[in-house]
Structure 1
Amino acid sequence: MLLLIPGPVQTRPEVKAAMAQDIAPWDRDFQKVYARVRERIVAVAGGRLGEHATLPIQGAGHFVSEAALRTFVAPGAKVLIPMNGAYAQRMARLAREAGREVVALPLPDTQGATAADILPALDADPSIGTVAMVFNETGSGIVNDAPGIGAALRARGTRLILDAVSAFGVLPFPLAEHPECDALVFTSGKCLEGMPGMGFAVCRIDRAEACAGNAGSWSFDLSDVLAHARRSGWGSIRFTPPVQAIAAFDVALDLYDAEGGQAARRARYQANTDILYDGTVALGLRPYLAREQQGPVIVTIHQPADPRFDLMTFVEALKRHGVLISNFYNTAAPTMRIGAIGAITPDDMRCAVAAIGAALREVLPRAA
């Protein structure tokens, strides 16, 4: 089965094989692996050891996003969130339910946010101290201009929390060049092609220290994760982790390096995206995004206007042809979400386009 969702992604056999072992999280051999993974992540993030640290939280991306919001935004403080997608809406809910005041900036889900969108809202309310944003929206496929927005925030002394869950390892945002960024968060099961189960925040150490006491939750306190690492060692973790997923992630990082790192992985995903975008257009389908707004992670397609079309029926037909896509959408208009990331190649994507065509012919047969 070819898994074409924006995460958890299809993985390589070597990554799966690393899961097939029993591991004690406190074992010294495993602690070496865990400490090594944390250092390697800082390098992928373009950070500096001693200035940045990897602070993990078990679970899905929502868990580590909430931890970053709780840690780096004080209770009752304002956080601006550009609202141009489903995952921005989820970030806003996490912040509100954590007792932070969300200043929502409505934007269309068909174009990425830029500094020109953000700055007027900050000028209108100087009490906003932090911008929290999604780098790549897997609802639609847009990419927000995190580097440009980060530079604008740095110039005015505003802090940034960046949800890079479906961007990390592919879309560049070197932390050493962005001291305004308190935390960049991502998960193990996306563009680095590991198994799901672990969230990571790459944080400024000085900011994590300064924000101790903000979280109001032991489980979601990144400052406490840092304190624990300093107290017990970088190979130690506070609560029982998904140890097999961490072991697999170490192998996934080996494969990432062997492929050529960020540039090579982005090139492969971009090739996948181009084939998928052009191929669906050739089938008579209409992409949700204009070409210039299309990111390299997921291609979202308008559902056919034919009243006979049913998304679930189509997903099941496509699965019979060996391709699995999401059976839901979260855009303003009805769409189909098709991922371009994971351990898949351009040849795989050409096969997927052919399968999409065959499934469409099954669910929308032409009248005799």
Structure 2
Amino acid sequence: MRRGRGGLSGHGARVQLGRAHSPKVASMIFLTPGPVQTRPETRAAMAIDIAPWDRDFGPEYAAIRERVRDIAGGVEGVHATLPLQGAGHFLVEAAIRTFVPPGGRILVPSNGTYADRMMRLAREAGREPVALPVPDTRGVRAEEVAAALEADPGISHVCMVYSETGSGIVNDPAAVGAAVRAAGRRLILDAVSAFGALPFDLKAQPECDAVLFTSNKCLEGMPGIGFAVCPMDRARGQAGQAGSWCFDLGDVLKHAERQGWGSFRFTPPVQALHAFAVALDLYAAEGGQAARLARYAENMRVLRAGAEALGLVPYLDAEHQGPIILTLHQPETPGFTLQGFVEALKRRGVLISNFFTTQSPTIRIGCIGAVTPDDMQVALRAMGEALEELGAARKAA
């Protein structure tokens, strides 16, 4: 039996963003950098039973692989989508294990928590990370990467985070990639919170071994699966050196070439994949990467201006502010706590992260997911009321 996609009528479907539901409030706005708020059609697609080996589902999964390859700027027959079950960290570890030989050295531009995590993943996989310290208030510069590579010829790869959701800073993979290419090295790009909104073109960056992302960030699917888009010859040639059957992207490729692009090695989150196909339909209907970036950028503009009007101080200067997440300094008033602010917002129908990863205390508010500038205005009203409740209104300035 063929399954419908929650009543969606394909790529021409009308895009109307809706809010997630919570048992405590009639309508909750999710403003986190992930998992993000999703569309009702996407959530509805989860509510069916599917066998991953069913011959009706195989073509759907194969089509998903082609569609995300195309979003990455990949080329049919040259690049392949290599999915894994799990979170973005799984893909980062898999790419490091697959493409960097045991004991190999990698350079990690370090301007946030996710770069620090990348270094730990590399270290525990038996690779040697070399940190390139950068302030978490600006992106890494291509000349800094070039100098570090020139100083250490033993480094084979640069492993970089595109969008650091600790501070909201965005690094530039095109500029850094050019420096990597000029030095004859390779690039692994963690684009988990960037892919689908921030631009990337794999065919223009032949130095890139893998661009990594997940289903539930800027593509607005459900959590559960991650993707690596890689040059096929590179992945095939590195099969077997990962030291892990589960995390060997070369083995993922060889399985697909042997068994077909609609097959899996191990049981996948098949309902999440089915919902992801719906999310990709909605992505195309909205206008793809450029349209999604435009919506997120406007979300950020409205949120940042409104937060400043409330007396809150952004962590980043405007020139360095990415469109994915706004980070704000916490008000220095006795009545303010982050958890208290989170709970006060939640009572008003807005959910934000209840932790921070910067050195100084901050507030993290996401601008991605199925949310609009109107939702940001609703959130700003809730933020004003929450600050008033905590005795912190306009005192942060």
- Is this a same-fold pair by TM over 0.5? yes
Aligned to 2:322: 295
Cα offset, 1:241, TM superposition:
0.3
Q: Partners of 2:343 and 2:182 in 1: how far apart?
A: 50
Cα offset, 1:365, TM superposition:
6.0
Aligned to 1:346: 373
Give the secondary-structure state (helix, strand or coil) at the position aligned to 2:60. helix
Aligned to 1:281: 308
Say whether residues 1:126 and 2:153 are aligned partners.
yes
Cα offset, 1:318, TM superposition:
0.6
Aligned to 2:202: 175
Find runs of 4+ consecutive structure 1 residues off by over 4 angstroms. Answer: none
TM alignment of 1:8-23, pairs within 5 A? 8-23=35-50
Q: Partners of 2:141 and 2:61 in 1: how far apart?
A: 36
Q: Partners of 2:350 and 2:189 in 1: how far apart?
A: 32
Q: Among 199, 210, 214, which residue is 2:241 paired with?
A: 214
Give the secondary-structure state (helix, strand or coil) at the position aligned to 1:329. coil
8 Å CA contact 1:109–1:332 kept in 2: the answer is: no
TM-score (norm 1): 0.98
Cα offset, 1:309, TM superposition:
1.1
* Residues 79-112 of structure 1 deviation map (CA, whole Å, 9 limit, x = unaligned): 0001100000001000000000111111111111
8 Å CA contact 1:18–1:248 kept in 2: the answer is: yes
Q: Partners of 1:365 and 1:248 in 2: how far apart?
A: 41
Instruction: Give the unaligned 5+ runs of structure 1.
Output: none
Specify the code of the residue in structure 1 equivalent to 2:120: R
Aligned to 1:158: 185
TM alignment of 1:62-211, pairs within 5 A? 62-211=89-238
Aligned to 1:41: 68
Specify the code of the residue in structure 2 equivalent to 1:13: P
Q: Among 316, 320, 327, which residue is 2:343 paired with?
A: 316
Cα offset, 1:157, TM superposition:
1.1
8 Å CA contact 1:57–1:199 kept in 2: the answer is: yes
Cα offset, 1:308, TM superposition:
2.3
Q: Partners of 1:240 and 1:210 in 2: how far apart?
A: 25
Give the secondary-structure state (helix, strand or coil) at the position aligned to 2:155. coil
Q: Partners of 1:129 and 1:354 in 2: how far apart?
A: 50
Q: How many residues align?
A: 366
Q: Partners of 2:90 and 2:156 in 1: how far apart?
A: 22
Identity of aligned residues (%): 67
8 Å CA contact 1:73–1:130 kept in 2: the answer is: yes
Q: Partners of 2:53 and 2:162 in 1: how far apart?
A: 34
Specify the code of the residue in structure 2 equivalent to 1:333: S
Q: Partners of 2:312 and 2:162 in 1: how far apart?
A: 26
* Residues 47-96 of structure 1 deviation map (CA, whole Å, 9 limit, x = unaligned): 10111000001000001110001001000010000110000000100000
8 Å CA contact 2:149–2:183 kept in 1: the answer is: no
Q: Partners of 1:151 and 1:258 in 2: how far apart?
A: 33
Q: Partners of 1:57 and 1:94 in 2: how far apart?
A: 16
Q: Partners of 1:75 and 1:308 in 2: how far apart?
A: 51
Give the secondary-structure state (helix, strand or coil) at the position aligned to 1:209. helix
TM-score (norm 2): 0.91
Cα offset, 1:307, TM superposition:
2.6
Q: Partners of 1:169 and 1:43 in 2: how far apart?
A: 11
Say whether residues 1:267 and 2:294 are aligned partners.
yes
Specify the code of the residue in structure 1 equivalent to 2:41: E
Q: Partners of 2:51 and 2:216 in 1: how far apart?
A: 22
Instruction: Give the unaligned 5+ runs of structure 2.
Output: 1-27
State the Cα RMSD in Å: 0.8
Say whether residues 1:253 and 2:280 are aligned partners.
yes
* Residues 25-49 of structure 1 deviation map (CA, whole Å, 9 limit, x = unaligned): 0001111110000000111101101
Q: Among 81, 85, 97, which residue is 1:54 paired with?
A: 81
Q: Partners of 1:60 and 1:28 in 2: how far apart?
A: 27
